[in-house]
Structure 1
Amino acid sequence: MIELPQPQRIADWFRPERPGPLIGPHVLQTGHGRIRADRPDAPRAVLVETGGDNFDLSGDPSAFRPGGPLRGIFRADQAFEAVLRDHSTELHRWPRVIYELQAPARDVVPVEAEVRRLVPADARALDALSPETHWITETWAGPPGAAAGGLAFGAFVDGALASVAIPFYVGERYEDIGVITEEPHRARGLSAACANAVVKDVLSRGRRPTWSTSPDNIASRRVAAKLGFRFVRSDLLYLVGRSI
């Protein structure tokens, strides 16, 4: 697989967009990540990679040549499952549920925190988050990229960043929202407050907010319901070379 020097030429590979992981569109929209293919012209298989080992694999499985063991979180059609299994030490299916906001944004109960848009100077506060919540900036090349992107909102409690929401994937039509709250500050409405600020921001840009989570993540599903998101479909990711 070779990296495409002009990935915008294959933008149609990722259209039409649908709610859920928008890995290809995110790389094209933000520049965070890379797109590879089996050949530079008229590719038959395309592999997109963004931060946090998040991958999108599409096209013809017979044209996909990994060149070594695979590891990461893959969005791929079921036709690629055998190829992924053959090139990894382990493979697990990870069920997902996808929601979309199809109505105006709701108001949420005010919280005892300062909720505001993050700016480049907040990179240090993002970097100070606990390791278990660092994934929130992965698709933005880490805290500096997430802070500089201008799309994240955070809740500050006593001057410290306690919760963050950000479009984890940015597409042309949809933006898929991710949110975290540090463990000592959970169950205080901070996730909903930050995510709702992002929802309103996404709508102001003429795009549709979406929400992806796992069926057993009850807390995440409750926040989505509180904000007015509605279930649109089930999905599946592959955990390749790693445990659930």
Structure 2
Amino acid sequence: MIELAPDQLPPLTRWFTAGSPGAAALPEHVLASGTGRWWADRAAAPRALAVACADHVLLRGDPEALARDALAVFGAHYVQAPARFLPALGSAFDLVVPWERMLYLHQVPVPVPRTPDGVTVRRLAAEDAPALAALTPDTAWVHASWGGPAGLAASGLGWAAFREEDVLAVACTYFHGTRYEDIACFTVPEHRRQRLALACVTALCQDIATRGHSPSWTCSRDNRPSRLLAWTAGFRLEHEYVQHLTGKPAHQGSGLPA
């Protein structure tokens, strides 16, 4: 596949449904934020289209239009695609693992819980980027959809629990769509079980509602803590679906861009 510049994009209404929740809001997020990349089998009148942001990919179109190794650029990604793409994914990677997911929509307003003494929950601001960057490397996924801590901090779409200058928990809009905002959250391990994530998530949900949008929540079916947090924060299950985690390209030396 070849990468497309934003001014090369075809009309997207035939490819993606506007106003969709969960990871399906990814195309709208990429258009609005500029974080992410677009790919197609060809620039003019494409027959297959992909959009990638952070480690997530959405595929649409006709997989028969793709060369054998066309999808190899999406190694180690979570791919959401119609079932007709599975043979192409299977031939492109040494491993394709189905990942059962759950999509929740926010339906029950919940008050922001009290936090421990000395902890403040507030909106992130641009000057909070160093505090986000100071979190452990395994938290980088939280701000990946904004291109890094500076992008998330400046977006105005994140809330965090602070003790002095330290971030203890954070919740943010991960994919910002035209109708739904899909949420991500994280709590520093030693500060869990203090309802800090719940405080951040409920504050963020109230903020999303003031924008006239609706919060959505996606998580693994096996992630019981995330499911419990979603329920406690007022989310209710909408449907289940399957993404696929890709492994390494099955054919090395294909000459595809990294």
Are 2:115 and 1:94 aligned? no
5+ residue gaps in structure 2? 249-258
Partner of 2:177: 171
Partner of 2:29: 26
Q: Secondary structure at the match of 1:32?
A: coil
Partner of 2:247: 241
Using the alignment, how far apart are the partners of 1:121 and 1:239 within structure 2?
35
Equivalent pair of 2:161/2:170 in contact (CA under 8 Å): yes
Post-superposition Cα deviations, 1:103-138, rounded to whole Å, max 9, x if no partner, equal 4x3103211211111111111111111122221001
Using the alignment, how far apart are the partners of 2:45 and 2:4 within structure 1?
11
Equivalent pair of 1:7/1:28 in contact (CA under 8 Å): no
Partner of 1:211: 217
CA RMSD of aligned residues (A): 1.7
Once the two structures are overlaid, the 10-residue window that deviates more, 194-203 or 37-46, is 37-46
Corresponding letter in the other structure for 1:60: D
Using the alignment, how far apart are the partners of 1:102 and 1:11 within structure 2?
29
Q: 1:120 aligns with which of 126, 145, 148?
A: 126
Highest Rg: 1 or 2? 2
Partner of 1:48: 51
Using the alignment, how far apart are the partners of 1:142 and 1:69 within structure 2?
21
| Identity in percent | 38
Partner of 1:111: 115
Once the two structures are overlaid, the 10-residue window that deviates more, 143-152 or 61-70, is 61-70
Post-superposition Cα deviations, 1:75-106, rounded to whole Å, max 9, x if no partner, equal 11111111111111211001000000134x31
Corresponding letter in the other structure for 1:240: T
Equivalent pair of 1:38/1:64 in contact (CA under 8 Å): yes
TM-score using structure 2 length? 0.88
TM-score using structure 1 length? 0.92
CA change 1:129–1:7 in 2 (3 A) is: farther
Equivalent pair of 1:8/1:28 in contact (CA under 8 Å): no
How many residues get paired? Answer: 240
Equivalent pair of 2:10/2:45 in contact (CA under 8 Å): no
Using the alignment, how far apart are the partners of 1:69 and 1:131 within structure 2?
24
Once the two structures are overlaid, the 10-residue window that deviates more, 24-33 or 36-45, is 36-45
CA change 1:240–1:162 in 2 (3 A) is: same
1:7 deviates by: 5.7
Are 2:205 and 1:199 aligned? yes
Post-superposition Cα deviations, 1:166-212, rounded to whole Å, max 9, x if no partner, equal 11111111110000001000110011111111111111111110000
Equivalent pair of 2:71/2:88 in contact (CA under 8 Å): no
